[in-house]
Amino acid sequence: MKITIKSVAIRPPEPPNQQRVIELLEGASVADALTKFGLANPDAHVTLLNDEPVPVGERAKKTVISGDVLTVFPPIQGG
């Protein structure tokens, strides 16, 4: 199955493509998609599945289906 991953304001060395379609096995989770996308520390990123937030503790259980859109934001930094 194929899903789209959109990255917002994530700069190299993380994945440089702002939008990418990836192929996953049926039954794959949000955590599986983030791993395939190649983020160094996916738990630090804010993640939305079809515009709905997916908390870190739910990513391994939340499955994706073909056509889903996963949006990933970098951790908020500053002071």
Kindly list the domain boundaries of the chain, sorted by start residue: 2-73
Range picked from 11-15, 35-39, 53-57, 72-76 for highest mean pLDDT:
53-57
User: What does pTM read for this prediction?
Assistant: 0.86
Q: For residue 78, what pLDDT band results from cuts at 50, 70 and 90?
A: low
Model pLDDT for residues 43-72, shown as the tens digit of each residue: 888 999 999 999 999 999 999 999 999 999
> What distance in Å separates the CA atoms of residue 43 and residue 67, rounded to the nearest whole number?
23
> What distance in Å separates the CA atoms of residue 79 and residue 30, rounded to the nearest whole number?
30
Radius of gyration of the chain (CA): 12
What's the whole-number mean pLDDT along residues 1-24?
Answer: 82
* Domain formed by 2-73, architecture: Roll (3.10)
